[in-house]
Structure 1
Amino acid sequence: MSSADAPSPEASRRLRLFLALELPRPARSALVGWRERALGGRAELRLIPPDALHVTIVFLGGRDRERLDEITEVAFAAAASAVSAPPRLRPLAVRPIPARRPRLYALELEDEGGRAALLQRAVGGALAEAGLWEPERRPFWPHLTIARVRARSARRGARERAGEPALPPLPSEPPPQLAFEAAELVLYRSLLAPSGARYEPLARCAVGVTSS
């Protein structure tokens, strides 16, 4: 790596962080299989790696490395008492985001019992009170990002100029009718690369699980 390519000292001190609910293995496997059937083979789309599927609770963005322990302690302390049972989520439908010129496809999730929203408010509120996060204006929306739209190609631009849809229609096969409990909150570091972001788990916390 040349000195021009090396990250600045300030950049190396900052971590791009977010908190997310982990998918249980059976649900992840079922959703990945459905997604391959529904969206696989589309040159316009880049499917999110299976192990990168998650439900974002709080996106922290760039934070000083020195505050990592504080962020972990505050977030997990709030999560431990936020809900009496793990959030229960159910796939609803695929949404293009934004609808007219989508940059990604998201699988909307029903938050049964509202426990994911309760968790988000508790964790986000604790982080905001500690001065570790600035709340977003948009409301919490439980979803999985399942695919991103690749950079526009000349062929796609020609289709748009001809008045044809920029992307193929949404998948005709509905998502699997399953509900799953997300019982683990994970603090992730996001590492950006030309091939796409890679997510490194830094710490984990059980959610809604009481010890006997």
Structure 2
Amino acid sequence: MSLGAGERPWRLFVALDLPPGVRAALAAAGAAADPDVWRPVAPDSLHLTLAFLGSRPPADVEAIARVLEAQAGTPAPRLALGDALLLPPRRARVLTVALEDSGGALGELQAGVSSGLEAAGVYTPERRPYRAHITVARVRPHAQPPRAAEAHLERLAFSAGRLTLYRSQLHPKGSRYSPLRAVSLAG
């Protein structure tokens, strides 16, 4: 799809929203990380990305929204916070918390969203397997990231019941995310 005159592409991604208690625990983990190395992610920016679409024409929002609406009957995945995880593993840029998806519902939801977006012509799935994680801090410029991750988190269990299409706008103090469309999952 081509852009109209003066129309700029939007950075878009699809994510699951997190319950307030889970956001608070994750924000605390990010804030507890070494401040000389890590810049914590703002609590209202914490989310679980299912598909990063990159730069897309604003006109694609309707097609993406239809893919999300098709997931409305899908059961909300039951998840739990896991261990701290540095990504990428060799030269970390982010401190994350892995998620446990014991029933496999998150993997099925992510695959359904991914294939629906691909069929709509708005997404090319990544070749590597999906790794469920939530970024809680980003490495500061010129900081040397550690080789091991530490985060002391309670293994909170939760249900992620809302699927949202976000627009990401880059700013010097961190990206700002604006919800464009949201769909509630079943249960």
Query: What TM-score, normalized to structure 1?
Result: 0.79
Give the direction of change, closer, same or farther, for the CA distance of 1:129–1:169 in structure 2 (3 Å limit).
closer
Partner residue in 2 for 1:106: 96
CA distance in structure 2 between the partners assigned to 1:11 and 1:109 by the alignment: 41
1:170-189 map, 5 Å: 170-171=149-150, 174-189=152-167
| 8 A contact 1:96–1:106 mirrored in 2 | yes
**Could you tell me the percent identity over the aligned residues?**
39
Contact kept? 2:48, 2:132, Cα under 8 Å: yes
Contact in 1 for aligned 2:63/2:120 (Cα 8 Å): no
Gaps of 5+ in 2: none
Q: Name which of 101, 112, 129 aligns with 1:122.
A: 112
- TM-superposition CA deviations, 1:129-172 (whole Å, max 9, x none): 1212111101111110011001115xx5xxxxxxxxx538532x
Who is 1:140 aligned against?
130
State the Cα deviation string for residues 73-119 of structure 1 (Å, max 9, x = none): 12321x113x3x31111111111112232111111101121111111
Cross-structure match for 2:18 = 23
Counterpart Cα distance in 2 of 1:30 and 1:56: 18
Change (3 A) 1:134 1:141: same
Aligned residues: 185
Preserved CA contact (<8 Å) 2:68 2:163: no
Q: Which has the higher helix share?
A: 1
Which residue of the partner structure matches residue 56 of structure 1?
49
The 5 A counterparts of 1:152-163 are 152=142
SS of equivalent residue, structure 1 residue 80: coil
Separation (CA, whole Å) in 2 of partners of 1:11 and 1:49: 32
Equivalent in the alignment of 2:176:
198
CA distance in 1, matches of 2:117, 2:147: 40
TM-score (norm 2): 0.89
Could you tell me which amino acid in structure 2 is paired with residue 13 of structure 1? R
Structure showing greater Rg: 1
Cα RMSD for the two superposed structures: 2.1
Matches of 2:186 and 2:6, distance apart in 1: 36
User: Letter of the aligned partner of 2:36 in structure 1?
Assistant: A
Unpaired runs of at least 5, structure 1: 1-8, 157-165
Distance 1:143 1:11, change over 3 A: farther
